[in-house]
Amino acid sequence: MIGSSMMLVLAPAAIVAQAPAEDGVGKAMAESAAGWNTNDLDRFLAVYADDAVFVTGDGDGLARGKAAIAARYRKNYGATGKLRGTLSFKPLVEKALDPTHRLYIARWTLTGDKIETGMTTLVFEKRGGKWLILSDHSS
């Protein structure tokens, strides 16, 4: 009987740990890409928490907070008033870390005059019913 009880307790935890991120994370990423693709930087950035951090290998390195992340994107991608290319994400890893945190690793691609691609590792937190990016490490 004790073994059965332990199995019932352990099985759901194992399932949660291996489950892909809820549709909410995928929907949040699709909405963000749609913002980029309609030249709406605010819509693209809506997926970031106000206290998010952004890490990249380029000269800007680290941005702390949504306002700093927005300034970085405006400088590097929207200086002409039009965002570069069409953005898409190909999810590679979606994993529940706990009930309110998700890991999302994807290949991003910008297509347009040229094709650019890279990787992104995101940590999401569910706040107020919305999945928001807490940490973005993109290369």
| Residue 46 covered by a domain | yes
| Residue 87 covered by a domain | yes
| Residue 131 covered by a domain | yes
Cα 48 from Cα 65, distance rounded (Å):
9
For the chain, the domain total comes to: 1
Q: How are strands ordered across the β-sheet holding 86-98? A: 62-64, 48-56, 130-138, 116-127, 101-111, 86-98
At 33, which CATH number?
Answer: 3.10.450.50
- The runs of H, that is alpha helices, within the chain are 2-18, 23-37, 41-45, 66-77
| Residue 6 covered by a domain | no
Report the SS3 class of residue 131.
strand
| Residue 67 covered by a domain | yes
| Residue 36 covered by a domain | yes
Query: Would you give per-residue pLDDT tens digits along the chain (139 residues)?
Result: 344 333 333 333 333 333 444 469 999 999 999 999 998 889 999 999 999 999 987 766 899 999 999 998 888 776 666 777 899 999 999 999 999 999 999 999 999 888 999 999 999 999 999 999 999 999 8
Cα 23 from Cα 71, distance rounded (Å):
29
Max distance between CA atoms of the chain, in angstroms, equals 68
| Residue 119 covered by a domain | yes
| Residue 35 covered by a domain | yes
- Matching residue, tokens 């963000």: 32
**Domain encompassing residue 95:** 20-138
Of residues 51, 49, 67, 53, the one with CA closest to residue 127: 49
